[in-house]
Amino acid sequence: MLRDERWPLVLRRLYVARGIHDAEALDLRLKHLHAPDSLSGLAAAVTLLVRAIVDGQRILVVGDFDADGATGTAVAIRGLRLLGARAPSYRVPNRFVHGYGLSAELVAELGPEQPELLITVDSGINCVTGVAAARARGIKVLVTDHHLPGPIRPEADAIVNPNQFGDDFPSKALAGVGVMFYLLIATRAALRGQSWFGSDRPEPDFGTLLDLVALGTVADLVPLDRNNRALVRAGLARMQAGQANAGIQALITASGRDPKRITAVDLGFALGPRINAAGRLEDMALGIECLLCDDPERAKAFAERLSSINSERQDVQAEMVEQAVAMLSGLEAAPEQLPKAVCLFDPDWHQGVVGLVASKIKERLHRPVLAFAPDAQNDALLKGSARSVAGVHLRDLLADLDARHPGLIQRFGGHAMAAGLTVARADFDRFRHELRLHADRAIAPNLLGAIIETDGPLVPSELVLETALAIQQGGPFGQGFPEPLFDGEFDILDASIMAGKHLNLQLQDPRTQRRYRAVWFSGYTGQLPHGRWHLVYQPTADEWRGETRFRLLIRHAQPTQ
């Protein structure tokens, strides 16, 4: 047990449950970040980048169409400008035109004013043909990525990826934006050694990039190990101090969050989806321009546009999820007939939203789900997105299926919990059949049950505002370092409906008869709850007319009888 009384007992209990047993692991100062030196390929990458900067070469950053790729691209452009690079530019693949990452199609569009150095962000380790196409045109390619490599390594001039074979970097959890940040740090050190900086070119403070690093790291759902928690904590501190760049400040305002109280959860559930929506429905360049913008008024316009796109995405997603639930209505009534891996397709679904549908249905059915839509560029192909549950490694599952049935899957990639793939429309029924057979063999039934893990009950003395504030300040919490959840029995004394689907509750603790305010989002199912319930909840602090109030946020509930 942590015995350092700098932290309240409830926080110490939470930390121990998350594997932290000494105070040193809670020291998230940036001086404790892992040094870049052990990243394999870093020396070659820095040499390439230093030469490009010093010689004034044309540098093109190729990003990705999710929040990690967008923030990583913004970090790259901002960082290169700070280092003195000559007008670095960026391209981001269009999900519906180019597909994922650096593709041969994107390289073909570069035109005569092609770059001398191309840097990938959050992609590239599996872009074998795209890297080859760029180098065939005489372009040097520097790959920065964090995804697992495939069987064939791209023939890039340099590769920086903590997850490539043989890499000794201590943290394998860096997001793409984190890898780019590390490359910039190492490049700055090399330029310092060459006396590049001086009175006319001051050495940059890369702390100004940490708000972007924090947003991309949380939004990409990489595990928040100590190194990532330090990066996220530092980025949140900039936001809370009002020092975030104009684009992030505008996104915070557009999402209705208070910058002084911004948390990692807000990054994941409010800011990240607004950036991601641009890549799902339109062009991620909108998101990147917002993150690169220094003018508050322009940033506000970008953020409002991204919020509008996100609202549209929510509407499209809700309709698609409703259709998916309708497809499964018969099977849900007979759970024993549900496949161990569910495969869904509708010819009218939107390619950019199928991943969110897969995620929602996975949460509902507690098993891997693959959702497909027609390829926006080729109606003979289907683009699929898959989401998994703990214990079922999606990429390995697809790789095994591909080995058993070569050619059935045209392309696939991803990691344990998420993957993307392409199949021919004509092969979809066969693919679904073979997937079902393979999943029946490969997935143990005990992996498909719904399990809610909590931190147990809070004692009455801990059901107070001070606990909520301590937890709020004790983060960042996120993937691999989960937000605290508690459970216990409460009597529901009163319930009222908000916005047609949410519930305002008045609870009473039967141990003490003390009463508490609570909110249960999407908790109304046609009947108001009453009586004694077993609740899974989070203690929260919310602002109301200038007053900080304590309330419980209900995450799961079931009647005790």
Q: Is 522 left (phi over 0), alpha (psi -120 to 50) or beta?
A: left
Identify the pLDDT of residue 411: 86
pLDDT of residue 335: 66
> How much is the pLDDT for 151?
83
Given a contact cutoff of 8 angstroms between Cβ atoms, the answer to whether 219 and 272 are in contact is: yes
Measure the CA angle with vertex 393, ends 167 and 446; round to 5°.
140
- Distance of alpha carbon 254 from alpha carbon 299, whole angstroms: 10
User: pLDDT value at position 5?
Assistant: 64
Tell me the two tokens of residue 75: 């970090």
Compute the distance between CA of residue 317 and CA of residue 329 in angstroms, rounded to an integer. 18
DSSP state of 459: P
Span(s) in the chain for CATH 2.40.50.460: 460-559
Distance CA 71, CA 68 (A): 5
CATH 3.90.1640.30 residue ranges in the chain? 34-305
Rounded CA separation 51/61 (Å): 16
Within the chain, which residue ranges are assigned CATH 3.10.310.30?
Answer: 334-448
Which long-range contacts link 490-493 to residues 24+ away (Cβ below 8 Å)? 490/516, 490/532, 490/533, 490/535, 491/531, 491/532, 491/533, 492/529, 492/530, 492/531, 492/532, 492/533
Q: How far apart are CA 126 and CA 151, in angstroms?
A: 9
Would you give the DSSP letter of residue 350? -
Domain 334-448's class?
A: alpha beta
426's tokens: 């004509």
- Interhelix angle for 285-292 vs 246-254, to 10°? 110
Does domain 34-305 sit in CATH 3.90.1640.30? yes
Distance (Å, whole) CA 166 – CA 130: 24
Write the single-letter amino acid at 52: A
The structure tokens 């001398």 sit at 116
pLDDT (0 to 100) of residue 3? 62
Q: What is the pLDDT of residue 280?
A: 87
Query: Contact, 209 vs 183, CB < 8 A?
Result: no
- Give me the residue label for tokens 């801990």: 462
Give the global pTM. Answer: 0.90
Per the DSSP assignment, residues forming a β-bridge with 498 are: 502
Q: Please state whether beta strands 411-414 and 117-120 pair in parallel, antiparallel, or not at all (unpaired).
A: unpaired
Please report the pLDDT score of residue 439 as a whole number: 94
Task: Quote the CA–CA distance of 497 and 444 in Å, as a whole number.
Answer: 41
Residue pair 167/161 in contact by the 8 Å Cβ criterion: yes
* Phi–psi pair at 134, nearest 5 degrees: -65, -45
Tokens of 167: 């890499």
What span, in angstroms and rounded, lies between the C-alpha atoms of 128 and 26? 40
Q: What is the mean pLDDT of each run of 10 residues along the chain (561 residues)?
A: 70 91 86 93 96 96 92 98 94 79 89 90 92 95 92 94 93 95 98 94 96 95 92 96 96 93 92 92 91 96 95 93 89 74 94 92 92 91 92 91 94 81 95 95 88 92 94 89 94 93 94 95 90 95 80 93 73
**Cα(397)–Cα(527) distance, integer angstroms:** 41
What is the DSSP annotation of 31-98? GGSPPGGGSTTHHHHHHHHHHHHHTT--EEEE--SSHHHHHHHHHHHHHHHHHT-SS-EEE---TTTT
Distance CA 151, CA 153 (A): 7
Angstrom CA distances, 198 to 160, 192, 193, 204, stand at 29, 9, 12, 11
Mapped onto helix, strand or coil, the DSSP state of residue 433 is: helix
The three-state secondary structure class of 374 is strand
CA distances from 251 to 137, 221, 316, 460 (A): 39, 19, 22, 38
Backbone angles phi, psi at 190, to 5 degrees: -65, -40
Contact between 280 and 313 (Cβ < 8 Å): yes
Q: How far apart are CA 290 and CA 302, in angstroms?
A: 5
* Class at the top of the CATH hierarchy for domain 460-559: mainly beta
SS3 214: helix
For 365, the token pair is: 């059915």
